[in-house]
Amino acid sequence: MRAAVLDIGSNSIKLVIGEKSGDDIKILESLKNVVPIGRNTFFRGRIAQETINQTISLFEKYQQCLKEYDVKEVVVIATTAVREAANRDMFVDTVMRKTGLKVEVLNVGDVVYYIDAYLSYKLKKKYPIHEKNLLIVELGAGSVDISVLEKGFTQMSVGIPVGTLRLKNFMNSLDGTLQEIYEAVEEYIVNEIHYVKKSIPHLKIDDVIVVDENYSGYLNNFVPSRSRQSEFFQFRIKESEDLLAKLTESYPETVAVSYKVPADVVETMTGYAIIVNKIFRLTKNKYIYILDTSLAEAVLANMIFKLELFQENNKTNQLISVAQNLCGKYKMDLNHCRHVAELSKSLFDQLQGTLGLKKEDLICLTLAAYLHDIGMFVNNRTHHKHSEYIIGSLNLFRLTEEEMNMIACIARYHRKGAPSRAHLLYNSLSSEHQILVQKLSALLRMANALDRSHKQKIKRIEVVFNPKGDVNIIAQASGNLLLEKAFFKDKKELFEEITGNRVTLTLKSRELPEKANDTQ
């Protein structure tokens, strides 16, 4: 199989063409051209028309190359510089109209998803990635994307705006001596890293892996090492300190001549060295692993190997893992959240046909079930509104902004309140998705009511229909269920309104037949 990735970065646009070669990927072509999209976005907030025209012209040349290699499957990705541009949608539309290429704008979670999955593939013969607790760092020109994996499952992902190009622009804007500028940049990065430190789960980090395609090839010029021959190597804290010292000992032009490194590389490599140095301080590890690869190669591997790459740690399980970590971070009752998710899935499976739901709708319901109480971290009385805001601000991999907004709304409406014209997020959704939000909210309300005591008294549920289509939910349960019964009576109303069918709840203490009821 042959495929290609067009990667729109902050400072360049790259084309990578590859094909499957046994268990590996053979790169047939790799082209890279400087296009200052990041300079436009980070300084002016939008992509200039001249830069858009330059992008179109370059894409047309790349398309000729794709034709010569007879590549049919092409993915175009864009990261921070396009994502943060005020005219992002117009940029994407213009590229589509003039070249026929659809640009997929990746959020932080998407980048982490591709990188993490690629590491599993790339390092399977070199490093036991699924046996370790890892901090993964992807260094870009626009941002630094960081994730934490617990034995192959993502616990958190966050992007911080300290990419190497951004830091170069920031340094150029400062007025002071060279040493004062480097100190200011270091203080700036420390503040950003401090936020990451607070977000890291209470987990012993075994190793740190830094994904870097731009600077690893120049490390030997500054801190020579015979062991640094492969694309995956250890970089020690002493080497990191030596690299930073040599890069900051003089002006970039002088450093470039002294160590035989291109001047434009030195200008951004200083920011790279400061970031790497602070990552050591963050984890207190004696060394980090550096992997010389790129996001484009990660996406290419996904295209070529498809499900083989993600079979064990699939999207749903990874998202649930992230959701469970968020439950811990925001001090939620994880047992309750997990149980509501399980009950929601059971209701979804048995009422899917009644509500006209699709299989892929389940992930939105599951994540909303895990996160419906997240707003209690802010305030209990109006926690549903805070839940909507917090969820709406998250970036979870392989979920679109529209999907995240739906999950936020489903969580908001797990209580009795109904959507209104004053609810901006709900009204930003398409009419089709507004209806879907109400259907999934109806299921979440009933599931949440069935664990109102937060004691998981209801073990399994079975849905039975009468000839009129009315629904009887038969629940195997134990203990005092007055609270669940009282709240279920109110929370079933939205489902009855949507379907036109009555719902009754029957509680039984005897065992029901075993039913598959695992959200993962």
Per-residue pLDDT tens for 119-165? 878 887 788 888 899 999 999 999 999 888 888 888 888 888 899 99
Domain extents in the chain: 2-106, 109-293, 315-508
CA distances from residue 177 to 95, 183, 203, 322, 417 in whole angstroms, order as listed = 43, 10, 40, 44, 59
**Three-state DSSP class for residue 233:** strand
- pLDDT > 70: what percent of the chain? 97
CATH number of 315-508: 1.10.3210.10
CATH topology match: 2-106 vs 109-293: yes
For 412-471, what is each residue's pLDDT tens digit? 999 878 888 888 999 999 999 999 999 999 999 999 999 999 999 999 999 999 998 899
Element (H, E) at 144: strand 144-150
Q: Which CATH number fits domain 109-293: 3.30.420.150, 3.30.56.10, 3.30.360.10, 3.30.70.520?
A: 3.30.420.150
Nearest alpha carbon to residue 244 among 222, 226, 225, 220: 222
Other Cβ atoms less than 10 A from the Cβ of 86: the count is 12
Nearest alpha carbon to residue 315 among 401, 398, 406, 407: 398
Which pTM was predicted? Answer: 0.80
Half-sphere exposure of 517 (CA within 13 A, CB side): 19
Rg (CA), the chain: 26
Among 180-184, 280-284, 442-446, name the one with the lowest average pLDDT. Answer: 280-284
The CATH fold assigned to 2-106 is Nucleotidyltransferase; domain 5 (3.30.420)
Task: Encode burial over 93-106: b for 16+ CB neighbours within 10 A, e otherwise.
Answer: ebbeeebebebebb
Nearest alpha carbon to residue 455 among 427, 482, 424: 482
